[in-house]
Every structure is written in structure tokens, then in C-alpha cells.
Amino acid sequence: MNVFITDAGFSDVNTEREIIEGAGHTLHLKQCKTEEDLLNEVTTADALIVQWAPVSAKVIEALKQCKVIVRYGIGVDNVDLEAAKEKGIPVCNIPDYCIEEVADHALSMAFALSRQLPQTTARLRTGEWKITPPAPILPTAQTLFATAGFGRIAQMVLSKAKALGFNVAACDPYCPEEVIREKGVQSLNSEELFQKADILSLHLPLTKETHYYINKTTLAQMKQGSILVNTSRGGLVDIDALSTSLENHHLGGAGLDVFSEEPPEVSHPLFSSNKVILTSHTAWNSTASVPKLQKLAAEEAIRGLSGDTFKNKVN
């Protein structure tokens, strides 16, 4: 059978080729960027492995014999899950890779921002020398580090934050409060999350309900001087509202690894702020995470072709 990789930004796909061809199938590597590219290239696939290509309802309708769609990564917002479900095509993600990498990235951003490293560096580069930071800094022991979401990455973030001396909390309406508390984490409702968090790290899927989870209204509810970190999905944050909050000195800082449009426009005011750390969707990456992702995606595709039980089906 034919497995199509719709697009991939890796140096090679040797791992996938070894697994897929070892199982007796044929691998085809494409670099589709648009819906039209997909319609022209992959409609005969028995399995799709997707990175960023937009697998829309139109693309799914055109698939003639596809048995599974696998997304390289955790988020699946570039795949129309409902259309795939209606056509009987399982969609799978890879949630069990890069957990430690993303947690480390989120925590690194949060710690640097809490110590005001970007602001102090920017000030020093102008020749201004002061032995006090630009604004008051809370000691770690008095800082509430909270996550929106309590999945695998959020739990890893909070475990590491707790080890560093932060107070930790989480808000997840889909996770029972007792499960959160059993992990030694304070359980907050949505209102409490925005009002109490000194550092808020986002670990949510992108859905209709969570789109612009951080907006003008929720930013206004956050504590004066608090910090926002997003290593999850770009569409969770309205960067226009975020930029305004930073300019008005309400929010103390922000760390973003993801954006609603990637690459973002570097002319956006956010890019000129000295209160931000911005990275280019690199939180997932390490020398270990990339081959693990490729291996797990290929193995899930093989399960789809073989009729075996999926490890991570999301629709």
C-alpha cells in the first residue's frame, strides 16, 4: 500500500522509510503547502502522514482509499477532524513525544521573564547601569505558577516549577479536581486562574472554544505585572490584545513560541517590545525528539494499514 508524507521539514525521512518499506509498503515524500497541492498529489494514499499541510474537508473528500491520517505532532488543527470522521478515516496524533522539551522551553521562558532578563538586557545595552531591575520582582516562593490545562506537558511543567520553589496551580475543567490535587497542585477555576496566577503557561488544544483564549477581556482579568507563556497553539492568543496589554504596563511580560500565523509579521509591535521572549516554534525540538516523532508517526501509520488498535486516535 502507499503511504504519502504530505510535507516534512526534517533533514530526511529515513526512519519512516525503514519502518514503512520494512512492512512491505511504499513511501512517497511530497512537500505540499496548499489544498490544491494535496488534491494534485495525495488522493491515492492508503495512509497520510502530515506536518503542516492543510488537510481540509475538500481534501478528505477526494481521498479514494485512505485508512488513516497521522499528524506529526500533538495539535491537529490543520486536519478537518469532523470531515475525516464522517468519511470513516481515523486521525491520529503523537502526544507522547517532546513532553520534556516543551516543558523545559515553557519553564525557561517563564523563569527568564520572572527575573526580567529581557528588560534588563535591553536597558544595559543602552548603557544604563542599575543594580535594581526595571520593576519589582516577586521571590519564587511567593510566585504562583499556573497552567491552563493539565495534560502531560502541563504536569511536567508544574513538576519542574515546583522543584524550583514556585507555588503551583492548574485549571482544567476536563480533569477532576481530586486528580489535580493528588499531584500536589492547587486546582483553580477559570476565574481564579486569571486573577491569581503570577505566571500563566498555556497547555490547551486549539478548538472553537479555546480560540483567542487570551484576549482583551481575559488579559484585563490577569494580575498587574503577571507573565504569560504560550508553547501550545498560536491561535490561543490574540497578539494584538497582548501587545496592547504590554504597552499599557498591565502585563509584565510574555513568552511565545507559537503564533496564529506562522511565520508572523515581524513588523508587529510585539516584536519591538523589550518585555517579550519570542521563539520560532522550536519548543518541541531536541536531538532526541525529532527521530522519536518520526518513528512514532510511521508506526501509527502502519497500525492503520494493518487494522491494529491505534495508540492515539483523536476523532
Residues with a catalytic annotation lie at: 233, 262, 281
Contact by Cβ (8 Å): 290, 297: no
**Strand partners for 167:** 144
Least Cα distance to 314 among 79, 137, 97 occurs for 79
3 state SS for the chain = CEEEECCCCCCCCHHHHHHHHHCCCEEEECCCCCHHHHHHHCCCCCEEEECCCCECHHHHHHCCCCCEEEECCCCCCCECHHHHHHCCCCEECCCCCCHHHHHHHHHHHHHHHHCCHHHHHHHHHCCCCCCCCCCCCCCHHHCEEEEECCCHHHHHHHHHHHHCCCEEEEECCCCCHHHHHHCCCEECCHHHHHHHCCEEEECCCCCCCCCCCECHHHHHHCCCCCEEEECCCHHHECHHHHHHHHHCCCCCEEEECCCCCCCCCCCCHHHHCCCEEECCCCCCCCCCHHHHHHHHHHHHHHHHHHCCCCCCECC
For 40, residues 6+ apart whose C-beta sits below 8 A from its C-beta are: none
| C-alpha to C-alpha distance for 37 and 193, rounded to whole angstroms | 43
Amino acid occupying residue 41: E
**Paired sense of beta strands 47-50 and 2-5, if any:** parallel
